[in-house]
A and B are shown apart, each in its own frame.
Chain A
Amino acid sequence: MPKVRREIRNVDRDTTISRRDVVVVAKEIRAKRSGEYSIKTNTHKTAPKLQRKK
């Protein structure tokens, strides 16, 4: 039997925040932590723009 990861689930809770907003913010924090990209400039550090030599 193939092993699978259980899907994250939740109930519709009476809350002032939406799960989608939390996911967006959490992903921004994760990206900042891992240095994947700069939130300020929204540019990927791991994929710098290529400088074409003239």
Chain B
Amino acid sequence: MPAPTYAQSVFVNCPFDSDYAALFDAIIFTVHDCGFVARCALEIDDGAQVRIDKIFELIQKCKYGIHDISRTEPDPISGLPRFNMPLELGIFLSARRFGSGRQRQKVCLVLDKERYRYQQFCSDIAGQDIWAHDGDIQKAVKVVRDWLRNATANSNIVIPGGGRIFERYELFLSELPQLCQNLNLDQDDLIFNDFSTLVVGWLEANPW
């Protein structure tokens, strides 16, 4: 299988908590079904590497970035909000602004629950491509698909519609338990690398 190029790599900067898992999985599936490769900080498990260095390295390798800044609620345990998503969005935008060569070609999609809510807590990002998913999986699939389609508008690449991708995602989910069972995986405890390998293998077996 060919390795992804810079122009085919999408850095996914989203919450990793269980409340967001359904949206996260749908976004990963959509990115791959559109022919891109999802990269995220969860894929590297090298204890010797400083976490921020992992993030720098991933961002450097990705032309595209999907940044979900919807998680503004305080953590139930600490009572404090998490700032990782806005931080990584800032790094991505900085790479585009201060980087050289292909880093300046970076394109990003910012997601939130409501389209203009960011103006109340992160107004400096006005002017970016900001869309709302309303916490709805089908809408998230469509937004990500349409954004990737627009990003490749001048190419000869065909990408199926958001409704078609969502249908395929539902089919994938319906077959995921059997897939996990046959491969001796625990569906409730899938790590990112296993999940994305399942997505890629399933897509290869089920071309549209």
Interchain CA distance A9-B39 in the complex, whole Å: 12
A4 and B156 contact, CB distance less than 8 A = yes
B205 and A30 contact, CB distance less than 8 A = yes
Interchain CA distance A13-B2 in the complex, whole Å: 13
B58–chain A nearest beta-carbon distance, Å: 10
Q: A17-B194, A26-B202 are in contact. List 16 more A-B contacts (CB 8 A).
A: A4-B158, A5-B35, A6-B157, A6-B159, A8-B1, A8-B203, A9-B35, A9-B36, A9-B37, A10-B32, A11-B37, A19-B1, A19-B197, A22-B204, A23-B201, A25-B182
A10 and B196 contact, CB distance less than 8 A = yes
B167 within 8 Å of A by Cβ?
A: no
B45 within 8 Å of A by Cβ?
A: yes
Interface size on A, residues (CB 8 A): 30
B206 and A22 contact, CB distance less than 8 A = no
Q: Which residues of A contact B203 (CB under 8 A)?
A: 8
Q: Which residue of A lies closest to B157 (CB)?
A: A6
Q: Which residue of B lies closest to A3 (CB)?
A: B158
Residues 139-181 of B, flagged 1 when their CB comes within 8 A of A and 0 if not, give: 0000000000000000011110000000000000001001100
Q: Which residue of A lies closest to B192 (CB)?
A: A13
A-B Cβ contacts below 8 A, count: 111
A9 and B2 contact, CB distance less than 8 A = yes
Known A-B contacts A6-B157, A8-B1, A8-B35; the reply to A13 vs B8 at CB < 8 A is no
A27 within 8 Å of B by Cβ?
A: yes
Q: Which residues of B contact A48 (CB under 8 A)?
A: none
Q: Which residues of B contact A3 (CB under 8 A)?
A: 156-158
Contact of A26 among B32, B43, B45, B206 (CB under 8 A): B206
A23 and B204 contact, CB distance less than 8 A = yes
B202–chain A nearest beta-carbon distance, Å: 5
Residues 96-119 of B, flagged 1 when their CB comes within 8 A of A and 0 if not, give: 000000000000000000000000
A24–chain B nearest beta-carbon distance, Å: 8
Q: Which residue of B lies closest to A13 (CB)?
A: B193
Contact of A8 among B157, B183, B200 (CB under 8 A): B200
Q: Which 10 A-B pairs rank lowest in CB-CB distance, beginning with the nearest?
A: A6-B35, A22-B201, A26-B205, A13-B193, A15-B193, A1-B156, A27-B205, A10-B200, A26-B202, A25-B182
B59–chain A nearest beta-carbon distance, Å: 15
Known A-B contacts A9-B1, A9-B37, A33-B175; the reply to A22 vs B156 at CB < 8 A is no
